Amino acid sequence: MKKQSLSVPTRGRTLDHAAFVYDFFEPILLLGKQAAYDQQIVSLLNLEESDRVLDLGCGTGVLTRMIADQLKTEAGGVSVGIDAAAKMIRVAGKKRGSDTCRSEVVAAESLPF
Ligand SMILES: C[S@@+](CC[C@H](N)C(=O)[O-])C[C@H]1O[C@@H](n2cnc3c(N)ncnc32)[C@H](O)[C@@H]1O
């Protein structure tokens, strides 16, 4: 799929404006429990190396990457984060992109997956 560099419309609000401060403020807003919550989600997913996971509204891709780290490209595993806010996806790609971690500008209302 072609990567988009512009945000796409949704029925609600997106967080383009927060992209560059999100990684700093989110742990504070969640009283330092963000990592523990994300770990719990990863553990509940009970992932296998070949899983293909879609993270809707991935923001800067913290959880997308934690999931991706449990997967193996050779096994076909991939974690894809989508967000309608292009600036979020830019941060996600730059900071957290890897062989098993991709991110794309997509609205949850019109999933191409
Ligand atoms: C509160 S943030 C959560 C980000 C990430 N999941 C996390 O836990 O750190 C919600 C994200 O959903 C995105 N979003 C909101 N509505 C969306 C939609 N309809 N389609 C795609 N992304 C959307 C926003 O731009 C924002 O980045």
The residue contributing the CA closest to ligand 1 atom 2 is 59
Domains and CATH numbers, the chain: 16-110 (3.40.50.150)
How far does residue 50's CA lie from ligand 1's centre (Å)?
25
**Whole-number Å distance between alpha carbons of 88 and 60:** 5
Q: How far is the CA of 82 from the centre of ligand 1 (A)?
A: 8
Give the pLDDT of the chain (113 residues) as one tens digit per residue.
556 689 999 999 999 989 999 999 998 999 999 999 999 999 999 999 999 999 999 999 999 999 999 999 999 999 999 999 999 999 999 999 999 999 999 999 999 99
pTM: 0.94
**Counting every residue, how long is the chain?**
113
Cβ neighbourhood burial of 22 (10 Å; 0-12, 13-18, 19+) = buried
Minimum-distance ligand 1 atom for the alpha carbon of 83? 22
Query: Which ligand 1 atom is nearest residue 88's CA?
Result: 27
Kindly report the number of other CB atoms within 10 A of residue 61's CB atom: 27
Question: Do the Cβ atoms of 4 and 105 come closer than 8 Å?
Answer: yes
Tokens read off for 78: 């991939």
